[in-house]
Amino acid sequence: MSMLKNFATVGVATLASRALGFVRDIMIAATLGSGPVADAFFVAFRLPNLFRRLFAEGAFNSAFIPIFAGSLQEDGPHGARRVAEEILAGLLMVLIIFTALAEIAMPWMIHILAPGFNEDPAKFDLAVVLTQITFPYLLCMSVIAFLSGILNSLGRFAAAAFAPVLLNVVLIGTLLLILFFKVSDGPTAGYFLAWGVFAAGFVQLAALVWSLLRAGFPISFRRPAYTSHVKSLLKLGIPGIVAGGVTQLNITIGTIIASFQAGAVSYLYYADRIYQLPLGVVGIAIGVVLLPDLTRKVRAGNEVAVDYAQNRAMEFAMFLTLPAAIALAVIPAPIIAVLFQRGQFTSDATHMTAMALAAYAFGLPAFVLNKVLSPGFFARQDTKTPMQFATIGMVINVAGSLILFPFLAHVGIAIATTAAGWINALLLGITLWRRGHFRADPMLIRRLILFSLSSLIMGGGIYWLSGVMAPWLHAPHLSTRLGALAGLVLSGVLLFLVATIGSGAFSLREFKTRFNRKS
């Protein structure tokens, strides 16, 4: 199957998940708004997700997949299964101990991650209880990341990619229960959602176990042991925790600082949900597919194929990311208003969230580039270099947030996160180039220039069109507003495609050829 087709498989699955995620967040905004219950739930939801992306996605994408894929190629399915069972035993032991300790220490963890909640004891206590309910989600999702790594290395991307859809299905069902029982005005809604997160973790885990059994690759339980494979995972995975989760670490640092401003945690959360759509569809899809593909090519010593894969992955990533970034930067307010402004989510909340979204938008290409460039290190089992660069980015993020927050409030946090993302991307790219592990070919350079020009043309067009369509974007009926926003988005897509095809940046024939080409 072609690499582009694999990108599309994961991208479509992620798009479906994010689309349902928007439905979920629209319902949360209408029921909880940006008040204290919303702030408490978002902290409770973000904390296990932070550790999931650090310990599970970050560590496993950077460490486990190269080890497992290498064993699969060199030792066959039997040897790879033994490696997987040894690592699963150690992973489960660590996760159970860590989860138990975290449940006990939860009040101290909330003190650290949301110190501003101390000024409101009721909100602080609610955040502690809700996070204790949601935290086992980490255990389920870490095992899911492990199973996803196996399936992806086997060339089966669909099952793991569609698993997150189940989370949103469960939470949407939970929100419908909240509306049915009419408990949206108080802390009870937070409890409902927290238990929904808890249940969703086990639903997703069951789906991945079933997919692995269907793939003919069952995993048995072993007694934990400190084997050579576990040692290799720790050696690569600890730096990968930082390197693979830099974006989430930066967002969490922003949450800590934002907790000192009423509503700021919610503003940043809703803005984050919008720009995470293109980041998830493009960046995560490319990272998931590119790492096992590069690992195989690096193991085979085919540097020409490695270079070609990285160039085409970056080309595809920027083709989708640059217009999305420009669109989010020029029309953030209409997007936020149409999607979230109703019920408890006021016009003032729309204005505050839109400013944060515009700041995040300028960092979107950098966040995606981090996903494209990092596999170039991970495939060579180098997680220390990305860790060092991620640390530099975090320092810039913390310093920038602390400096800008007193003057720009939550928008300063978004600006600092964007700056940290660009610094990290530049360091990754320059280092790969200096080591001879990446060369931008003439086709990539030419197309990046044309994609940028086409995106600017598209941005100017939708900015003008948003003014023309303002009466429909602010109409009293939700269906009218959604239709107007969909029309605005579709117009932007068509304008960008016309500009890229007209400039010769891409042709439909070439796209079809690449989609059908073998990887």
pLDDT tens digits, residue range 82-136? 888 998 998 899 889 999 999 999 999 898 878 888 888 899 999 999 999 999 9
Higher pLDDT, 429 or 511: 429
Please tell me the pTM assigned to this model.
0.72
Q: What is the pLDDT of residues 360-394, one digit of tens each?
A: 999 999 999 988 898 888 888 787 888 888 889 88
d(CA 239, CA 61): 12
Terminal C-alpha separation, the chain: 6
Measured over the CA atoms of residue 209, residue 212, residue 216 and residue 218, the dihedral's sign is negative
Within 215-363, where are the H helices? 228-244, 246-258, 264-278, 285-299, 303-330, 332-340, 347-361
Looking at the fold, whether 79 and 49 belong to one and the same domain comes out as yes
Q: Where among 412, 440, 468 does a domain terminate?
A: 440
Looking at the fold, whether 168 and 153 belong to one and the same domain comes out as yes
Count of CB atoms within 10 A of residue 315's CB? 22
411-425 as b/e, with b when 16 or more CB fall inside 10 Å?
A: bbbbbbbbbbbbbbb
Q: Which single residue is written with the structure tokens 């999702």?
A: 141
Burial class (CB within 10 angstroms; exposed 0-12, middle 13-18, buried 19+) of 481? buried
Q: Which pLDDT value is given to residue 61? A: 62
d(CA 437, CA 386): 14
Averaged pLDDT score across all residues of the chain: 85
Q: Where among 410, 440, 470 does a domain terminate?
A: 440
3-class DSSP state for residue 436? coil
Looking at the fold, whether 474 and 370 belong to one and the same domain comes out as no
Looking at the fold, whether 492 and 347 belong to one and the same domain comes out as no
Q: Sorting pLDDT into bands at 50, 70 and 90, what band is 494?
A: very high
Q: Which pLDDT value is given to residue 514? A: 58
Cβ–Cβ under 8 Å, residues 516 and 2:
yes
- The identity of residue 104, as a single letter, is I
Higher pLDDT, 47 or 491: 491
Q: Structural domain tally of the chain?
A: 2
d(CA 461, CA 496): 10
The token pair that represents 37 in the structure block: 């219950």
Looking at the fold, whether 10 and 80 belong to one and the same domain comes out as yes
Q: Sorting pLDDT into bands at 50, 70 and 90, what band is 47?
A: confident
Measured over the CA atoms of residue 494, residue 496, residue 497 and residue 503, the dihedral's sign is positive
d(CA 405, CA 387): 26
Looking at the fold, whether 295 and 380 belong to one and the same domain comes out as yes
Q: Sorting pLDDT into bands at 50, 70 and 90, what band is 1?
A: very low
Residues 6+ apart with CB under 8 A from 455: 322, 323, 325, 326, 496
3-class DSSP state for residue 439? coil
Looking at the fold, whether 119 and 152 belong to one and the same domain comes out as yes
Q: Where among 376, 411, 440 does a domain terminate?
A: 440
- Altogether, the residues listed in the chain come to a count of 519
Looking at the fold, whether 138 and 234 belong to one and the same domain comes out as yes
Looking at the fold, whether 94 and 55 belong to one and the same domain comes out as yes
Count of CB atoms within 10 A of residue 346's CB? 14
Cβ–Cβ under 8 Å, residues 282 and 317:
yes
Looking at the fold, whether 401 and 458 belong to one and the same domain comes out as no
Q: Which single residue is written with the structure tokens 């700021």?
A: 264
Looking at the fold, whether 459 and 496 belong to one and the same domain comes out as yes
- C-alpha 351 chain-centroid distance: 24
Cβ–Cβ under 8 Å, residues 19 and 330:
no
Task: Examine the pLDDT at 58 and tell me if it is beyond 80.
Answer: no
Looking at the fold, whether 107 and 122 belong to one and the same domain comes out as yes
Q: How far is CA 429 from CA 158, 316, 371, 483, in A?
A: 29, 17, 11, 40
Higher pLDDT, 459 or 285: 459
Q: Which pLDDT value is given to residue 124? A: 92
Q: Which pLDDT value is given to residue 519? A: 47
Domain boundaries, position 518: 445-519
Measured over the CA atoms of residue 445, residue 450, residue 456 and residue 462, the dihedral's sign is negative
- The identity of residue 190, as a single letter, is G
Question: Residues 273-290: what's their mean pLDDT?
Answer: 78
Count of CB atoms within 10 A of residue 343's CB? 15
